Homo-oligomer: A and B are copies of this chain.
Amino acid sequence: MLYSKSAEYAIQAMIYLAEHEARGLAMVSTIAEAYDIPRHFLAKLVQSMTRAHLIKSFRGRNGGIKLARPADKISLLQVINAIEGPPPEQEMCVIGLDICSDQVACPLHKQWRHIKDLVEETLHNQTLADLAVGMRRKRLELAKMIGPEHLEALKLRR
């Protein structure tokens, strides 16, 4: 419903990095495999995030990537903006009208603004650290339901 495949992949990769924060560098190919993301495609997303200073990358043998700063200092919103580009100045009207602003508003303008603010606030408040914790909790719940011996088979993306 909301974001591109690219943004989705990027978020998954960032969560991976947050979960493995302690372990030093991670390889793009490892992450790609863990989340079933096309390897080279992810590589390009990583490049975007590197340019956006969300990731630090290191080439060569023993190279890899890691978060550019602690996971609790990176918000979901930053990740999405790094991938989708900065939000447009003249924000899009839901109905696609050329002229639609707070002054001359389309019928949905006010409600839509509310929704957009809510989305932005939500994404802004979620740090990668929060997501990492949430994922760990989720995996525990899942293990309780299906038995831990099956969890491995499900891989991380579940």
Contact in complex: B141, A8 (CB < 8 Å): no
- Cα A126 to Cα B104 with chains together (Å): 19
A39 to chain B, nearest CB (A): 17
A17 within 8 A of B: no
Contact in complex: A12, B115 (CB < 8 Å): no
Contact in complex: B122, A115 (CB < 8 Å): yes
Contact in complex: A118, B116 (CB < 8 Å): no
What is the total number of residues of chain A having a CB less than 8 Å from a CB of chain B?
44
- Within the complex, which residue of B107, B108, B145 is in contact with A103, where a contact is CB–CB below 8 Å? B145
A88 to chain B, nearest CB (A): 9
A131 within 8 A of B: yes
- Cα A97 to Cα B141 with chains together (Å): 15
A134 within 8 A of B: yes
Contact mask for chain A residues 91-120; partner B; CB cutoff 8 A; 1 contact, 0 none: 010111111000111111001100110110
Q: Which chain A residues in 115-150 approach chain B with CB under 8 Å?
A: 115-116, 118-119, 122, 126, 130-131, 133-135, 137-138, 141-142, 145
Known: A105-B138, A108-B126. 9 other contacts (CB 8 A): A9-B96, A12-B95, A12-B96, A96-B157, A98-B157, A98-B158, A103-B141, A107-B126, A111-B122
Taking beta carbons and an 8 Å cutoff, which residues of A are in contact with B? Answer: 1-3, 5, 8-9, 11-12, 15, 76, 92, 94-99, 103-108, 111-112, 115-116, 118-119, 122, 126, 130-131, 133-135, 137-138, 141-142, 145, 154, 157-158
